[in-house]
Chains A and B, each alone.
Chain A
Amino acid sequence: MNAKLVFAALAATALVAGCATKKGFEQPGYAYGCPIGDQKVGSMNDLVKAKTAMEGRRTTIQPTEMRCTKAGDLLKIDANLNNDSSSVKRISYKFRWIDREGMRAAEEETWKPLMLYNNSNMMISTVAPNAKAVDFRLILMSGE
């Protein structure tokens, strides 16, 4: 009986340790590789909300996934845009780059036009313009 208890305790410890190791992949202040600062990001949805802003005419196109990594000292971003409507949508997008102090790390980017087929996804990728750009916002605007 005691042996069973010890075994159960060991298994539970191993499970907890296993989970802790998996969670340990993410650096503090990062979610899915993207910088989040002090914000609470518990899911991909939270990350997308924290990193996306709409300007001008609003669009129904939504990012569904965002992942970041470092290419040397430059922040690299992949964002998946989803058009779940039954019509072709046209949008414009740009990234806004922010430095460690929360200031603009680079000049405002150009708006980039994009066409998304109906019921489709499109991955947009970018890389930071300089090493000072450690954070970002994805800005979307309807192009209709």
Chain B
Amino acid sequence: MRKILLATALAALAAGCAHEKTSYGDARGVETVTNQFGSTDLQMIAEAMARSMQLSPAIASGNLPIVTVQEVKNKTSEYIDTRSITDSIRSELQKGGKVRFAVDAPGMTQQVDEIKRQQSEYYAREAAVEKGQMVGAQYRMEGNITSIVKEVKNTKDVYYKFNLQLWNIRNGLLEWSDEKEIRKTTTR
């Protein structure tokens, strides 16, 4: 009984002494914890795509074209939040000041709900938004991300290819397209 008590006390002491340290890091630093899709990949893709798109004639014309964001298909074997990639691209482009964004399909329900709410009897008629005032997009942005994974005994190689396209909604023409490739190799 005494032995059990002693062992329990020792285990508790050891657990208490196990030193855990937390520190803040650089959110924009190179992250190489594993070779799965990571923050550096997301940031590099968003930056490269937004910068490249700003040079496309459709955007560079200075007419503040209206773009809507559609799906980026994840064709890789791992889980990637592609919405997070398009959100970052959108933020980067928005800061560039050359594009305006129309509400996209996932945000439509919230947009319509808000219009309906403002048209209810609780709101002043003259200040409430009217139906039929939303502006449609001229371009839609869509893309896909694919990966090729090769693994042998001590080496794992991952190749990512992110492709983004800007389509003219009126005439169906592809106005711009670009790719970002990333290769990561892990050896044990």
Chain A, residue nearest B61 (CB): A72
A108 touches B28 (CB 8 A): yes
Question: Cβ of B188 < 8 Å from any Cβ of A?
Answer: no
- B16-50 interface code vs A (CB 8 A; 1 in, 0 out): 00000000001011101000000010011001001
A131 touches B97 (CB 8 A): yes
Chain A interface mostly: loop
Question: Cβ of A71 < 8 Å from any Cβ of B?
Answer: yes
- A104-116 interface code vs B (CB 8 A; 1 in, 0 out): 0011111111000
Question: Cβ of B95 < 8 Å from any Cβ of A?
Answer: yes
Q: How many of chain A's residues have a CB under 8 angstroms from any CB in B?
A: 20
A72 touches B62 (CB 8 A): yes
Chain B interface mostly: helix
Question: Cβ of B92 < 8 Å from any Cβ of A?
Answer: yes
Most buried by A among B29, B96, B97: B96
B92 touches A129 (CB 8 A): yes
Shortest CB distance B90–A (Å): 14
Q: How many of chain B's residues have a CB under 8 angstroms from any CB in A?
A: 20
Chain B residues, CB < 8 A from A72: 55, 60, 62
A111 touches B51 (CB 8 A): no
Chain A residues, CB < 8 A from B86: none
Chain B, residue nearest A90 (CB): B30
Question: Cβ of A87 < 8 Å from any Cβ of B?
Answer: no
Chain B residues, CB < 8 A from A106: 95
* Given A129-B96, A130-B95: A111 in contact with B28 (beta carbons within 8 A): yes
A interface with B by C-beta (< 8 Å): 71-72, 74, 76, 92, 94, 106-113, 126-127, 129-131, 143
Give me the 4 closest cross-chain CB pairs, A-B, nearest first.
A110-B43, A110-B28, A72-B60, A127-B51
